[in-house]
Amino acid sequence: MKPWRLTLTKSLVTSYGMNFAMDNYMARAATFEELTSFHSSDYVDFLATVAPQPLPLDVDNPNPDLKFNLGGSDCPLFEGLYNYCSMSAGASLDAARKITSKQSDIAIAWGGGLHHAKRTEASGFCYINDIVIAILQLLRCYPRVLYIDIDVHHGDGVEEAFFSTDRVMTVSFHKYDPLNFFPGTGALDDNGPQSEHNPGAHHSINVPLNDGITDEQYESLFKRIISKCVEKFRPSAIALQCGADSLAGDRLGKFNLLVEGHASCVEFCKSLGIPLILFGGGGYTPRNVARAWAYETAVAIGHQHNISSTIPAHTPWRERFRHEALCPTLEEILGEPRQNRNPPKKLDEIVRHVTEQLRFVGQAPSVQYQTIPPDLGPIRDEIEARIKEEYEDRDEIGRKMREEGMGDRMEH
């Protein structure tokens, strides 16, 4: 999850002037206590103290003996790993707080969306599951959260985290090939716990797809399934993971989605009028990732129809978006189209299966009212930072006064 994708995204967002149409915040790093709201303390301790190491000699071994699954080719150790994890999680956590405090109806954390990380191990380029941490924050104020994942990979880490609760419903649209495509989970019949006595039964919804699905198919499937889930589950908030590896031309993904098709999912979720968090996620062709997330930012602020399709000439690193075209556009996606292996009959069967599954979901669960302890962590940190600044300002004023007085006659 290289930060270069975020640099390109920010360059587009600011070049189009979208930053003036929304509130922008500098996220603070998540604390150890916040990271361990989901992850085990042993795992977070290890992340904070482990030193970078060279990749093992058996890097091609699919089952290396690695502590917490760290140090392999998927999740290498590098300098600043803990800071990266805490900043990513902190941004997603702050986005959730903006929603729960009613400061925003929509919050964006493009640096988050690391949906594969488990409670005690890293997985699939993901070290800390910022999505789970953010949803736990939402659950402090909202009785039910709908998690939607449009990454090309199955959102296995989030599904596993909320496997046994009826307060979170997870819906994942992904390529499914158990033998040849990571993580190999998320079959149509994977509906959650097998026991009907487990509250999480039927609350895991998986939409397994084949290569080459188009914008029209994806948008239709998404709207049909999500509308049924919203009608049945009645979520109080939505968390949408917008992994851009489901775009055409991605180095790992095999779909034929264009920017508009991918963004139609954001537009539909926004139209529901339910508090919404947008997360980033996968995406391995940086120029296309930036295009998608910038366009989806425009959707979030309601200006997708007002921005020029041609990328502004003053955009930093504009040449990185120029592949074959002299004047690159925001929607342009270049890549060899994949053969579509998703016949309409198969997609209709998926909708029928999900409809039947939702029949077994109980009415939206009520949550016993109780006084929720205030989330004082960020307030305390902000107050401490202000006090520190005041002391530093006072010291600076005193220093300047002493310097001005040095050497004056009759000083004492």
**Catalytic (active-site) positions:** 116
Based on its alpha-carbon atoms, the radius of gyration of the chain, rounded to whole angstroms, reads 23
Copy the structure tokens of residue 272.
């529901």
Strand partners, 106: 276
SS (H, E, C) 219-251: HHHHHHHHHHHHHHHCCCEEEEECCHHHECCCC
Q: How far apart are CA 268 and CA 183, in angstroms?
A: 27
| Beta carbons of 270 and 106 less than 8 angstroms apart | yes
* One-character DSSP codes across 174-233: EE--TTTSTT----TT--S-S-TTSTTTT-EEEEEE-TT--HHHHHHHHHHHHHHHHHHH
Q: How far apart are CA 196 and CA 201, in angstroms?
A: 6
- Report the 10 Å Cβ neighbour count for 212: 18
Is residue 284 part of an annotated ligand binding site?
Answer: yes
Is residue 153 part of an annotated ligand binding site?
Answer: yes
Is residue 149 part of an annotated ligand binding site?
Answer: no
User: Vertex 268, ends 262 and 274: CA angle to 5°?
Assistant: 130
Q: How far apart are CA 154 and CA 181, in angstroms?
A: 10
Is residue 243 part of an annotated ligand binding site?
Answer: no
* Known binding residues for substrate: 74, 124, 284
* Known binding residues for a divalent metal cation: 151, 153, 245
